[in-house]
């Protein structure tokens, strides 16, 4: 390569890195257009409200009814935010996301539970009362009269007392009109379908003839309004009045609109996120990413010299490109809190391909090859390990994207994107930068490092010790689960994502001890909720999570008011989440299915690539070991098993198998060149040759995740802590166990001799 071309390559890469970075920060026009602020943020970062509904009584509603319901809900929530989304989940669920709203609890209470809405005549055809006022007693003995049904809805429909239903109402609005004295008053204006208008005309004629009877509006088990019919209504346009304030009129109109859906829905899951918590999560994660990037880049330069410098530049290019892609694909990619974790994790993993290549280059230089030949040969020999390792990790990301819970799909998206981009930067950008630096005169072996043939470490002589140690740790995990379950605490510390209930996360202005919380805050919560309270503090922060039974929206609002008035907490620093047990059971099932499917897909891929089932089963045994050890850590440390648990387990599975495949790739290569060497010697040699790669890659990834744990918010910490254990465990199983499993299987099931 000519020096002019080499210089051009370096200038182009640096210019692209700086140019893309400039656009990421200041936009393509320098004024913020198309910059990182345009990345679509999920609810956990932007704040807002999320609700998941399920169709009542029908597991497979028609596509027409689902589409009609989604359309009407979309019109409804668009009044709150232009970014609001309504979409179908599975066959009978509808999810609503309204990001960026500041008064999410009010929106949640206004939106209510979409249920069936009925307009009911006061009397049936025989003159019997369909509903009547009945006393409702309070705890202090006082009472008030409220309307209640005298018959079931089914009976009312059968005898013709249900005049129209919510689906017959085309529109309901709060309006201003004049009363008989020409004074302005608030009312609710209704518009009906033509067919409903005819039935409503007949019903109102009868109500007037019977002494101006009422027609009650019944929604979700309660009468929301019982207006008296003053005159017959023939044109399908009705008005409900009655000394309303604007808020009362708007709430009634809202209830009628939401009750006019094609399907009756019940709430399964709702979450209210304070925007401040999202801002803190972004800031701390960005800080962790910047510090980690600097540490990893410095590490690469110190350890690998000129190749490390090329990798550090390529790593900066990689980060800038990832951000640009997130901006460009904001229509299909939504950045979430787990998504940030996926990006930062992929930065740590991005060095892996470089480390594999650099180790190969040093080996070739140790054989007295020229620097240029060593670079070319190093990339050629490392290619299969890089492809196989990254494809298996990509399988884990894809399985999570397809089968994992919806709230961790953002992690799967960013992890998959990171894997693809990191392969591109390692195999092309780093390679051409290294060749360019070589062409500019940096040709001495001193700048690249000469590898020395190490004496193989006899790992396999201790294989039974390693296996016994792992069995003890795994059994200890099951013992902890049994002890915890016997104590009534549950085998694992399941969060609300798995058991159902309401969690209120509060970022206090000062740090409270657990004793202070139990003495001052918990009694206030119990008085409002009437529920027992579990308290979970977050280390190195003022955040506290209060777990209770499922709370209604009005109770959640009362809690928020208590925190703001008595403890001075800003409403934007309060996050509330409610999950039903239905969602929780499905999350457990989805977790197990996702992990099993990921492992099976990896097994198939390894079988195809290595053409030896023993490699695949050895890899799977190592993966199962890692999953069980991390599960033991969850049980012993009582780490919260939350929605990031799935992402954590699949990350460990994908990460661990990456290291195992690098070792097995070397075993395969050494077997082809070994002649009559025994397999024990081959495995010991292969593990020793790849040992630095296993350690260095684990170390860089561990640093990134550790920074997430130190600087991150509570939900990030719940992800990072067990992941650090998994990274260490994955390195251990790849080095100490995977090869041992393969040797044992090979000895028990020797390959058939070729004829």
Q: What is the mean pLDDT of residues 56-61?
A: 82
Three-state DSSP state, 39? coil
Contact 590, 646 (CB under 8 A): yes
DSSP one-letter string for 487-546: TTS-SS-B-HHHH-EEEEEEE-SS---HHHIIIIIHHHHHHHH-S--EEEE-TTSSEEEE
pLDDT band at residue 755 under the 50/70/90 scheme:
very low
Place of tokens 């529109």: 171
Instruction: Kindly report the number of other CB atoms within 10 A of residue 240's CB atom.
Output: 19
> Going by C-beta distance under 8 Å and a sequence separation of 6 or more, which residues neighbour residue 461?
none
Q: Read off the pLDDT of residues 487-534 as tens digits, 9 standing for 90 and up.
A: 877 888 877 767 778 888 888 988 888 888 888 999 999 899 888 787
pLDDT at 337 over 50: yes
**Could you tell me which of 212, 279, 204, 321 has the C-alpha nearest to residue 37?**
279
Angle at which helices 644-673 and 581-610 cross, to 10°? 10
Q: Read off the pLDDT of residues 185-241 as tens digits, 9 standing for 90 and up.
A: 899 999 999 999 999 999 999 999 999 999 999 987 789 899 999 999 998 899 998
Instruction: Give the pLDDT score at 78.
Output: 74
Task: HSE, CB side, 13 Å, CA atoms: give it for residue 512.
Answer: 20
3-state helix vs strand vs coil in the chain, percent to 5: 60, 15, 25
DSSP one-letter string for 363-392: HHHHTT--HHHHHHHHHHHHHHHHHHHHHH
Q: What is the mean pLDDT of residues 289-299?
A: 89
Contact 496, 503 (CB under 8 A): yes
Q: Read off the pLDDT of residues 407-436 as tens digits, 9 standing for 90 and up.
A: 677 778 888 888 889 889 988 999 999 999
Q: What residues does 214 pair with on adjacent strands?
A: 228
Q: What residues does 147 pair with on adjacent strands?
A: 133
Instruction: Give the pLDDT score at 532.
Output: 76
Contact 403, 593 (CB under 8 A): yes
Contact 297, 79 (CB under 8 A): no
**Could you tell me which of 392, 282, 288, 283 has the C-alpha nearest to residue 345?**
288
Place of tokens 């996120």: 273
**Could you tell me which of 427, 433, 420, 428 has the C-alpha nearest to residue 313?**
433
Contact 166, 116 (CB under 8 A): yes
pLDDT at 456 over 60: yes
Contact 288, 294 (CB under 8 A): no
The pairing of beta strand 215-219 with beta strand 222-225:
antiparallel
72-81, 85-94, 108-117, 167-176 — which one is most confidently predicted on average? 167-176
Angle at which helices 691-711 and 644-673 cross, to 10°? 170
Angle at which helices 581-610 and 613-637 cross, to 10°? 150
Instruction: Give the pLDDT score at 41.
Output: 77
Q: What is the mean pLDDT of residues 718-742?
A: 91
**Could you tell me which of 92, 74, 86, 53 has the C-alpha nearest to residue 267?**
53
Q: What residues does 53 pair with on adjacent strands?
A: 94, 267
Contact 357, 379 (CB under 8 A): yes
> Going by C-beta distance under 8 Å and a sequence separation of 6 or more, which residues neighbour residue 291?
707, 711
Instruction: Give the pLDDT score at 271.
Output: 75
Averaged pLDDT of the chain:
84
Three-state DSSP state, 484? helix
The pairing of beta strand 143-149 with beta strand 237-244:
unpaired
**Could you tell me which of 653, 630, 656 has the C-alpha nearest to residue 732?**
656
The percentage of the chain sitting over the pLDDT mark of 90, rounded to a whole number, equals 31
Instruction: Give the pLDDT score at 109.
Output: 66
Gap between the Cα atoms of 284 and 336, Å rounded: 14
Place of tokens 């055809």: 125
Instruction: Give the pLDDT score at 685.
Output: 92
Q: What is the mean pLDDT of residues 275-290?
A: 72
pLDDT at 293 over 70: yes
Gap between the Cα atoms of 563 and 370, Å rounded: 69
pLDDT at 438 over 80: yes
Phi (first) and psi of residue 673, to 5 degrees: -110, 5
Instruction: Give the pLDDT score at 376.
Output: 92
Gap between the Cα atoms of 177 and 600, Å rounded: 67
Contact 86, 261 (CB under 8 A): no
Instruction: Give the pLDDT score at 434.
Output: 93
Contact 385, 588 (CB under 8 A): no
Record the pTM. 0.70
**DSSP secondary structure letter of residue 81:** -
pLDDT band at residue 371 under the 50/70/90 scheme:
very high
Instruction: Kindly report the number of other CB atoms within 10 A of residue 260's CB atom.
Output: 23
User: Please, what are the domains in the chain?
Assistant: 3-39+281-447 (1.20.1640.10), 45-109 (3.30.70.3400), 117-260 (3.30.1360), 463-480+583-748 (1.20.1640.10), 501-579 (3.30.70.260)
Instruction: Kindly report the number of other CB atoms within 10 A of residue 383's CB atom.
Output: 16
Maximum pairwise Cα distance, the chain: 108
Three-state DSSP state, 643? coil
Gap between the Cα atoms of 723 and 392, Å rounded: 18
């Amino acid at each position: 390569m000519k020096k002019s071309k080499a210089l051009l390559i370096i200038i182009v890469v640096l210019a692209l890195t700086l140019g893309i970075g400039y656009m990421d920060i200041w936009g393509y026009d320098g004024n913020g257009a198309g910059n990182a602020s345009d990345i679509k943020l999920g609810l956990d970062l932007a704040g807002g409200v999320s609700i998941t509904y399920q169709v009542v009584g029908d597991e497979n509603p028609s596509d027409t009814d689902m589409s009609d319901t989604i359309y009407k809900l979309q019109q409804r929530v668009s009044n709150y935010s232009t970014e609001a989304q309504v979409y179908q989940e599975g066959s009978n669920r509808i999810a609503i996301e309204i990001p960026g709203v500041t008064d999410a609890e009010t929106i949640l209470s206004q939106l209510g539970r979409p249920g069936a809405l009925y307009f009911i005549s006061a009397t049936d055809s025989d003159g019997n009362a369909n509903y009547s006022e009945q006393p409702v007693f309070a705890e202090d003995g006082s009472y008030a009269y409220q309307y209640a049904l005298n018959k079931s809805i089914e009976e009312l429909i059968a005898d013709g007392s249900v005049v129209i239903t919510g689906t017959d109402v085309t529109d309901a609005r709060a309006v201003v009109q004049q009363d008989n004295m020409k004074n302005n008053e608030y009312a609710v204006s209704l518009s009906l379908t033509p067919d409903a208008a005819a039935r409503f005309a007949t019903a109102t004629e009868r109500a007037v003839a019977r002494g101006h009877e009422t027609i009650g509006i019944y929604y979700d088990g309660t009468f929301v309004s019982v207006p008296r019919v003053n005159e017959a209504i023939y044109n399908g346009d009705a008005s409900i009045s009655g000394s309303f304030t604007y808020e009362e009129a708007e709430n009634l109109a809202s209830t009628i609109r939401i009750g006019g859906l094609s399907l009756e829905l019940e709430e399964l899951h709702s979450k209210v996120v304070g925007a401040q918590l999202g801002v803190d999560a972004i800031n701390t994660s960005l800080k962790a990413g910047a510090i980690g990037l600097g540490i990893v880049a410095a590490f690469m330069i110190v350890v690998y010299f000129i190749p490390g410098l090329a990798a550090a530049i390529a790593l900066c290019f990689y980060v800038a490109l990832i951000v640009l892609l997130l901006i460009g694909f904001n229509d299909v990619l939504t950045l979430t809190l787990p998504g940030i974790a996926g990006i930062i994790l992929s930065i740590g993993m991005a060095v892996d391909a470089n480390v594999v290549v650099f180790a190969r280059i040093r080996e070739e230089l140790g054989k007295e090859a020229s620097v240029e030949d060593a670079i070319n040969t190093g990339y050629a020999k490392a290619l299969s390990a890089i492809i196989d390792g990254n494809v298996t990790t990509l399988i884990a990301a894809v399985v999570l994207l397809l089968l994992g819970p919806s709230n961790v799909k953002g992690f799967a998206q960013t992890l998959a994107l990171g894997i693809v981009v990191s392969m591109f930067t390692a195999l092309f950008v780093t390679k051409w930068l290294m060749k360019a630096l070589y062409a500019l005169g940096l040709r001495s072996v001193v700048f690249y490092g000469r590898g020395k043939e190490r004496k193989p470490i006899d790992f396999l002589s201790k294989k039974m010790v390693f296996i016994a140690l792992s069995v003890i740790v795994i059994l200890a995990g099951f013992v902890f689960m049994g002890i915890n379950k016997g104590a009534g605490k549950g085998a694992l510390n399941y969060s609300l994502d798995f058991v159902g209930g309401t969690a209120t996360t509060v970022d206090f202005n000062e740090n409270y001890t657990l004793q202070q919380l139990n003495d001052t805050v918990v009694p206030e919560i119990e008085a409002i909720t009437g529920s027992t309270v579990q308290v979970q503090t977050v280390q190195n922060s003022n955040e506290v999570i209060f777990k209770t039974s499922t709370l209604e929206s009005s109770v959640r609002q009362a809690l928020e008011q208590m925190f703001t008035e008595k403890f001075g907490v800003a409403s934007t620093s309060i996050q509330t989440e409610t999950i039903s047990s239905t969602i929780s059971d499905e999350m457990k099932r989805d977790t197990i299915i996702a992990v099993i499917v990921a492992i099976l897909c990896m097994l198939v891929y390894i079988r195809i690539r290595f053409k030896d089932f023993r490699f695949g089963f050895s890899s799977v045994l190592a993966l199962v070991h890692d999953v069980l050890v991390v599960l033991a850590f969850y049980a012993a440390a009582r780490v919260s098993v939350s929605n990031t648990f799935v992402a954590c387990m699949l990350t460990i599975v994908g990460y661990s198998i990456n290291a195992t495949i690098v070792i097995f790739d070397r075993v395969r290569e050494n077997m082809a060149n070994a002649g009559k060497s025994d397999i024990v010697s081959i495995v010991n040699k292969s593990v020793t040759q790849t040992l630095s790669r296993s350690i260095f890659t684990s170390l860089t990834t561990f640093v990134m995740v550790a920074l997430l744990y130190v600087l991150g918010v509570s939900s990030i910490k719940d992800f990072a802590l067990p992941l650090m254990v998994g990274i260490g465990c994955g390195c251990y199983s790849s080095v100490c166990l995977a090869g041992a499993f393969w040797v044992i299987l090979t000895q028990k099931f020797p390959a058939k001799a070729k004829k």
